[in-house]
Structure 1
């Protein structure tokens, strides 16, 4: 499986991003809006206006990678903040990419043996 190394920082771009942008446009957005280096190895997540498409920008040490995922039946849960970005853990990112509400995960009720 292709994936970032353990300890990789993951940032979520709050708000809406123009999904017509490719990897160069998103890398420029990371530099100008966030003041970050898109080639640092961190993962940057962007969401479109309708909420069903996410793009991930990541430099793996050899080149810039652009991944996208589209949900067919639901929308990605996305925050709005004043800073324009937030940092996520790997677990939160995994839930987000599965279409789950990563901000308030709930335990599934399981019957007890009694």
Structure 2
């Protein structure tokens, strides 16, 4: 299965998208609705209203790539707890989303930053 690397920028469109949209329609959504550049080295994620289908859009050197996943049962657990029209995810969070993990429930420990010991 194709999965993004953990360090790839991932932008999730929060609003449902008509899955009949193809590359040009999705790229236009990235540009006009999400206010992002579809040619950036980033992955753009779209889901339908029923949350059983997802499309990913990616610019790869000389053309767009679209990846489509349809669930036979269950639903993607779309992150409703995050703010904004588009949400930034890590590659790992996208992998969890594609696997059916609820991102709201996954709550790792906070990173700690110290200046000195003791």
Q: TM-score, normalised by structure 2?
A: 0.80
Structure 2 residue aligned with 1:62: 62
Structure 2 residue aligned with 1:7: 7
Structure 2 residue aligned with 1:28: 28
Structure 2 residue aligned with 1:109: none
* Cα distance in 2 between the residues matched to 1:82 and 1:91: 19
Structure 1 residue aligned with 2:95: 94
Map Cα deviations across residues 58-82 of structure 1 (whole Å, 9 max, x no partner): 0122210000111111100113465
* Cα distance in 2 between the residues matched to 1:51 and 1:39: 26
* Cα distance in 1 between the residues matched to 2:79 and 2:4: 23
Quickly say closer, same or farther: Cα 1:4–1:45, change in 2 above 3 A. same
Alignment of 1:71-110 (within 5 A): 71-80=71-80, 83-105=84-106
Show structure 1 runs of 5+ residues with no match: 107-114
Show structure 2 runs of 5+ residues with no match: 108-118
Q: Give the C-alpha shift of residue 4 in structure 1.
A: 4.8
* Cα distance in 1 between the residues matched to 2:59 and 2:17: 19
Alignment length (residue pairs) = 107
C-alpha RMSD of matched pairs (Å): 2.2
Q: Give the C-alpha shift of residue 88 in structure 1.
A: 0.4
